[in-house]
Structure 1
Amino acid sequence: MEKDMKEDEFLKGDDTSGKGLFEVVLDEIKCIGLGIDNLRGQAYDNGSNMKGKHLRVQKGLLDINPRSFYTPCGCHNLNLVLCDMAKSCTKAISFFGVLQHSVPSLTLKSLSQTRWKSHIESVKAIRFQTPQIRDALFKLEKVSDDPKIKSEANCLAIFELENFEFLLGMTIWHDVLFAVNSINKSLQSKDMHIDVVIDQLRGLVSFL
């Protein structure tokens, strides 16, 4: 009988080397009653201790079952695509720089380089509240006694939030990030079917 595994369960790994993590994964597979000979795939992010070909989790499972083919994590790859998109365009770099600069001042959603869902949340927070945020910056400029804060608030309100390129970039990035985030959710759903996701990825490529 298979043991029921808790949803979104985390496994404790004190040894984060490839060998240590492999032993944790192998023990869990045995614990929940799955036959490792039936394993047909494994997928991880780009961590060398997971995907590496020598003394890593991928290598350990392939040694036991050569049919457990490794595939890079689709969600992580989408994150990398977005990172490359943002870093290859000077306007994107400028846009997210302004966004990150605005976030601490307004306690909006902060950015994360590894979880790009945070970017859609950050963009959405400003995308649909731009006038209110602009008003809040003007109010901050008036009430603050700190010259630096007054200056930064004024610059953000006038030269950034009223800037056409910033507003256009915000609209474009919101649509792009929303589309990618939808695919990410499909890839992580329990009832995901690979043929459906392939069609969705093709649609995403066409959209981009």
Structure 2
Amino acid sequence: MTIAIRCVDIDDIIVKVHEFFIGFINVEDTSGLGLFKRLEDVLIELHLNIDDIRGQGYDNGSNMKEKHDQIGRIEAKGLWMYTLEDFEFLISLCIWYKLLDKVNHVSKLLQQEYMEIDDAITRLKELIIYFENVRECGFEDLMEEARTLARKVGIDPVFVQKRVSRRSKKFDEGVNDYAHGNQSLEDKFRITYFLRIIDQALTSLRDRFEQLERFEELFEFLFNGNSKVLVKSN
């Protein structure tokens, strides 16, 4: 059995994902229970708490001989296929890919060993402008991209009305809280999902931008004709 562990580092503002190959583990019992017990032993050896772990395991289909495992696999496959065939899920993937690809590019630049603070400010400013442009005029392009992809994989490129649980209106909720009730499903998605993601990202980026500007102002006296203040990104 092959074991690999993916770790999410959230110690910094920028979330990082690391993956480690642990090795090949000898297995005698290839049933679901046998694999779990073997994996449990490995985690104990690595001093990892199983309660903190989310993982995926593949056993080359040997567990299909067990009735309950087979039912579980069928149900999981059905849920997986249902999710992938949902256009809302597809457009969500397009949005995240576009945004994270840009953020990842800038993040790598900021982590360069000799990144200067004024250059870092410029990069962040460019990223903020990029997000602002996407917010203003990028949704339709993303929708068209998702529609094209949906047609290629055989998914109906429309939003489907999902069942919404009803609740009583609270005394401190205004008319605007329910204003989206008459909007189309596409508009609802744009407002409650797309714009919310963009606005949260812009808030974080602007905070970081203002912080770097304050640092530059504080350490401006260190500048001379041949030196720059370096920014260290951990």
Please indicate, yes or no, whether the TM-score normalized by the shorter chain is above 0.5. Answer: no
Q: So what's the TM-score if we normalise by structure 2?
A: 0.29
Q: Which structure's relative contact order is higher, taking Cα pairs within 8 Å and 6+ residues apart? A: 2
TM-score (norm 1): 0.33
| Structure exhibiting the larger radius of gyration computed from Cα positions | 2
Structure in which a larger fraction of residues adopt helix: 1
